[in-house]
Structure 1
């Protein structure tokens, strides 16, 4: 039972730092005559996130290209094209990423996306200087990634509370071991049930 609680707690922690699925173009999807650079401008893309390209099958495709191919709308071999109409690309590395539609002249009329993928890590907070005043930390935000220290503390507190609750539930559902004296082992206490929780 205790192992189950550990697994649940681990999954809960991973869910708090999990990836984001970005539906490219939101409600518009992957289409022509849409400004994907404006769409991506205020989004935060991180390693582990997913890009989901949704479009009517047969009308569009998704090609991963380099920066030059992106600028010139040059199509690489179409054998690498994604064409399902619901294509998901997991962002595995940080850095610039470029995508275009490989159908007709769709790229030249705006069906292309360039993003910058950031590492998926929380920058550690350094120790304060000796002149540090504790009240200064209350509104501190790490400018590198915009993560508030208090938000991280709150998330970790919620995880700890949930783990404690799960542990308490699993412990309360375990039957208590009944003990009795075993005359063959010099009056040592022995459990009477082999099915008791471990």
Structure 2
């Protein structure tokens, strides 16, 4: 009896609803896919005797990225300061205290500008400071014109597209059947 109810429910969902659901899921995932979460210091984390200037060198920080600070919550902290206080390791007047008490703090980089972070309590003098420049994402490259001999979706592209469509449909059908 219960299996009949499940099958009736699954057959009452139209293909349009399936495509709408998948479309919304893709739209929700896309913005998250472009952001990067950087663990400050990599495997070393936010600690003393580490050169964060060298760690940040060569990395591009874009609007929407995140800095993830991992540190000893009983000793260190994460303070955002201005450039003058960064250079002097002055933690008396931070712009923002990102310390949550867990030793796992995430800082959103959602404004295009320079960010300066230090650890107070004297740890800044041991190297616990980092400056990053956040910039906007570069525009995507312009597509080259399609040449007449290049394959398009109307020809060979269906070879790759159709298995994906069938796999999504099979997964959806299994999900509905088990639900």
What TM-score do the two structures reach when normalised by structure 2?
0.66
In structure 2, distance between residues paired with 1:32 and 1:71:
16
TM superposition shift of 1:121: 4.5
| Corresponding residue of 2:169 | 169
**SS in structure 1 of the partner of residue 34 of structure 2:** coil
Match of 2:49 among 9, 27, 33: 33
Alignment deviations for residues 51-84 of structure 1 (CA, whole Å, 9 cap, x no partner): 0100111110000011111111111446943143
The CA RMSD over aligned residues, in Å, is: 3.2
Alignment deviations for residues 134-181 of structure 1 (CA, whole Å, 9 cap, x no partner): 8xxxxxxxxxxxxxxxxxxxxxx9xx949x6179728x95xxxxxxxx
Maintained 8 Å contact 1:48/1:120: no
Match of 1:125 among 142, 166, 173: 142
- 1:96-107 mapped onto 2 (5 Å cutoff): 96-103=114-121, 105-107=122-124
| Corresponding residue of 2:31 | 14
Maintained 8 Å contact 2:81/2:96: no
Do the aligned partners of residues 25 and 166 (structure 1) sit closer, same or farther apart at CA in structure 2, a change above 3 Å counting? farther
Do the aligned partners of residues 27 and 102 (structure 1) sit closer, same or farther apart at CA in structure 2, a change above 3 Å counting? same
| Corresponding residue of 1:4 | 21
**SS in structure 2 of the partner of residue 89 of structure 1:** strand
Q: Which runs of no fewer than 5 residues in structure 1 stay unpaired?
A: 129-133, 135-156, 174-198
Identify, as 1 or 2, the structure richer in helix.
2
| Corresponding residue of 2:75 | 59
TM superposition shift of 1:12: 4.7
| Corresponding residue of 2:15 | none
What TM-score do the two structures reach when normalised by structure 1?
0.60
Maintained 8 Å contact 1:50/1:90: yes
Match of 1:115 among 125, 132, 135: 132
In structure 1, distance between residues paired with 2:89 and 2:166:
54
TM superposition shift of 1:120: 2.8
Do the aligned partners of residues 80 and 9 (structure 1) sit closer, same or farther apart at CA in structure 2, a change above 3 Å counting? closer
Maintained 8 Å contact 1:5/1:167: no
**SS in structure 2 of the partner of residue 88 of structure 1:** strand
